Every structure is written in C-alpha cells, then in structure tokens.
Structure 1
Amino acid sequence: MKLITLMTFATAMAVSLNALAEGGGDRTFDRALGANASAMAQYAANQGKAAPVVKEYEYGMALDVVKVVSVVRPQTACEVVPAAMTYEDSSGQLNTIRYSVAGECRQRGG
C-alpha cells in the first residue's frame, strides 16, 4: 500500500514539474496579468482615465511613479519569474510595466 501511495505521489510530482517546464508558470502569470488588465480597465473607467497598456521594462528605463495602483505578484519559484506593476505617473496617466524578478523561493528547512 505504501508503494502505491509513493508511486502515485511521484507521478503527480512529475506531471506538475512537466507542466511548469512547458510554460505552466507562464500561463499562470498570463492569466493573472489578464485579470489585472481587466481590473485596471475598470479602475481607469471609474477614474475617467485611459486604460493602461502593458510595456516591457528595459534596463535603465526612467519610471515616473507617483502612486502604485496594482501589483501582479511573482510566482513561488526558485528562479527568475515575471511580475507586473500598474502605477500612476505625475501627469495622472496609468501605466503597466512588466518586469522580471527573483521568484519567491520557499525551500523546506532541514
């Protein structure tokens, strides 16, 4: 019985890792970014502003952040992962920037 349980657990882990290796994490982020885009479009409409367009961060890009409106948090992963932030600049325009950060790595202590 323990062998069957162990084999089932190992199979589930292998399938999970395979899904992440094939972009499962990216799909998760894309869904979160899409949900954020919908929420920010509604927020912009309520504020009487244009909905923000997602831009990729480039090293050295000058950001004029006056107020952070929303953050799409990084995934729990021990690697570099995407994140996004929607902010208001000094002219009142909403901007969404997509960037890479170190994932929130949570390893079990031993």
Structure 2
Amino acid sequence: MGIRSKIAAFSISFVSPFVMADGSSDPVYGSMIKENENRWKEHALSTDQVPPEIVHYRYGMNLDIERVIHITSTRIGCGVMPAQMTYKDSNGDLKILEYRASGTKCRGNEG
C-alpha cells in the first residue's frame, strides 16, 4: 500500500464519523442550529402544524422541496460549518434539511 493510499484510508476512517454528525452538537455553531430548530418547532405548534422533521442530507438523496422558507446564515464563520434549510414539501409539511456548507466570513470576502 502506497503512502497516498494510506493517507486516503486514514482520512476516510477519521472523517467519516463526523460527516453525518448532528449540527446541534457542533461546539461553535450548535446554538445557531438549536435556535433555528426551536424557532420552527414553535412556529409549527402555534399554527397547528406538525413540528418539522430534521433531515440530514446525504449525497444523491431525492428531495421534495416545494418552497424554501429559511436558510441559516453562513456569514458567521469561515470553513465548513453546519447549515439548515427550512422548507415545505409538496404535501405542505414543514421540514428542516441539515447539511454542511462553506462559511463565507473569510479573510478577503468582506464587502
């Protein structure tokens, strides 16, 4: 096994458990994720809707998005961070899609 293969194998084994990690447990952005989830759960309950299901994005999954309601900001950091998109599906059900996004508050991106 070559050095590149060893590095790739190590990277996959080290990173894989963290890819699907729940964003609410993220030490930096967790409060933003929890606030977003609570906001939409409270909204759903106040309008007699079912609280939104949290869907963790997986590459290639089919999404049923009728209307985007809200997207959490990525302007609060630089690098890969958890993000959420709140949307209604074609049945009118409220859902929250959690995914990883690149933060846009990076040096040189101001303005």
Structure 2 length-normalised TM: 0.65
Query: Which of the two has higher C-alpha Rg?
Result: 1
1:44-102, CA deviations, whole angstroms, 9 ceiling, x for partnerless residues? 1233211112221000111111122222222321x221111111001011111110111
2:83 — aligned with what? Answer: 83
**Sequence identity (%):** 28
1:1-110 to 2 correspondences below 5 Å:
26-74=26-74, 75-77=76-78, 79-108=79-108
Q: Aligned-pair RMSD on alpha carbons?
A: 1.8
Can you give the 5+ residue segments of structure 2 that lack an aligned partner in the other structure? 1-25
Partner Cα distance (2:31, 2:105) in 1: 21
Q: How many residues align?
A: 83
Stretches of structure 1 lacking an aligned partner (at least 5 in a row): 1-25
Instruction: Write out the 4+ residue segments of structure 1 that deviate beyond 2 Å after TM superposition.
Output: none
Higher fraction of helix: 1
Q: C-alpha separation between the residues in 2 aligned to 1:91 and 1:60? A: 21
Which residue of 2 is the match for residue 15 of structure 1?
none
CA-CA distance at 1:108 after TM superposition: 4.2
Deviation, structure 1 residue 106: 2.5
Distance 1:65 1:45, change over 3 A: same
Q: Secondary structure at the match of 2:27?
A: helix
Residue 8 of structure 1 aligns with which residue? Answer: none
